[in-house]
């Protein structure tokens, strides 16, 4: 008889060009998220911190028994807290994945606001589960720029949806089955702004532990320039043999 369990690693670095790390993350037994704040000095840090703190508090109060409805309630609560704390002068991205039970089976519930990303690596294939809410994503989808031009476009950091700022802060939701051997990656654009998906997939496929993989991804993003704060969470779905 087998059962599944999660092994995970996480890390964050200010990068090589920023004075302040405005990224935040939350890692629980079944809920993982990354937020990338933006705003005036320290305001972005406040926004991202409040986003993940509200998620963590909600998850804890619900004793981990959450669904899409609860996640949206946490997000709505975070939006209000950020606007009150920063006088609506700061915002944050928010993306992550929660392990939930739906239709009598385990599922990943993935949520996203902004341009931080959640991926799934399975059978040596990397699939992005989220869609960026960004100006360059819209330009790419309209055929104005190529995928290669996204990385160095002057508007690459302009997002079209944020938590705590602007008029649109609803999350997109995605679901995925839970399988042994999966590796989930949740990260800020400090990683994806420096590394192509193919490079990320190669590192994820090396067979290193979740924490070792996080450390390698962060170091590689710094070697490529480290233009932004970089935060990475890797979650492995593993199989445990039982007698």
Q: What is the DSSP letter of 65?
A: -
The tokens for 149 are: 């031009």
User: With pLDDT > 90 as the criterion, what percentage of the chain qualifies?
Assistant: 79
Does 113 score more than 90 pLDDT? yes
Does 140 score more than 90 pLDDT? no
The residue with greater pLDDT, 169 or 239, is 239
How far apart are the C-alpha atoms of 188 and 117, rounded to whole Å?
Answer: 6
CATH number of the domain that residue 163 is part of: 3.60.40.10
DSSP bridge partners of 33: 26, 96
pLDDT for residue 104: 84
Give the 3-state secondary structure of residue 94. strand
Structural domain span for residue 105: 2-241
Phi-psi label, residue 123: left if phi above 0, alpha if psi -120 to 50, beta otherwise: left
Confidence at 73, pLDDT banded by 50, 70, 90: very high
Give the 3-state secondary structure of residue 88. coil
Does 126 score more than 80 pLDDT? yes
For the chain, the domain total comes to 1
Any idea which of 6-10, 37-41, 239-243 has the lowest mean pLDDT? 239-243
The residue with greater pLDDT, 34 or 135, is 34
The residue with greater pLDDT, 153 or 229, is 229
Does 83 score more than 70 pLDDT? yes
The tokens for 185 are: 């990656």
| Average pLDDT of span 50-69 | 96
Any idea which of 37-46, 63-72, 204-213 has the lowest mean pLDDT? 37-46
The residue with greater pLDDT, 185 or 158, is 185
The residue with greater pLDDT, 150 or 99, is 99
| Average pLDDT of span 179-197 | 96
pLDDT for residue 1: 46
| Average pLDDT of span 95-101 | 96
Q: What is the DSSP letter of 176?
A: E
| Average pLDDT of span 74-92 | 95
The dihedral sign for the CA sequence 188, 54, 110, 87:
negative
Q: What is the DSSP letter of 148?
A: H
Question: Is-contact 78 84, C-beta < 8 A?
Answer: no
Question: Torsion over CA of 183, 186, 191 and 193, rounded to 10 degrees?
Answer: 110
The tokens for 91 are: 């915002």
pLDDT for residue 2: 63
């Amino acid at each position: 008889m087998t059962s599944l369990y999660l092994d995970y690693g996480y890390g964050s670095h200010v990068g090589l060009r920023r004075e302040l790390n405005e990224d935040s993350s939350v890692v629980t037994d079944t809920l993982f998220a990354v937020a990338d704040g933006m705003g005036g000095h320290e305001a972005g840090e406040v926004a991202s911190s409040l986003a993940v703190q509200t998620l963590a508090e909600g998850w804890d109060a619900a004793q981990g028994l959450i669904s899409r409805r609860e996640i949206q309630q946490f997000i709505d609560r975070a939006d209000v807290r950020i606007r009150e704390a920063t006088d609506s002068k700061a915002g944050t991205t928010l993306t992550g994945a929660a392990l939930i039970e739906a239709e009598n089976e385990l599922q990943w519930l993935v949520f996203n606001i902004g341009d931080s990303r959640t991926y799934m690596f399975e059978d040596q294939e990397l699939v992005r589960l989220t869609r960026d809410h960004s100006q360059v994503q819209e330009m790419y989808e309209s055929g104005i720029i190529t995928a290669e031009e996204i990385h160095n476009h002057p508007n690459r950091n302009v997002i079209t949806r944020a938590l705590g700022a602007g008029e649109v802060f609803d999350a997109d939701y995605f679901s995925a089955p839970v399988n042994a051997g999966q590796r989930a990656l949740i990260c800020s654009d400090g990683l994806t702004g420096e590394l192509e998906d193919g490079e990320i997939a190669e590192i994820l496929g090396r067979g290193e532990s979740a924490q070792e993989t996080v450390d390698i991804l962060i170091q590689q993003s710094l070697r490529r320039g480290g233009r932004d704060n970089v935060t990475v969470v890797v979650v492995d779905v593993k199989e445990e043999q039982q007698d």
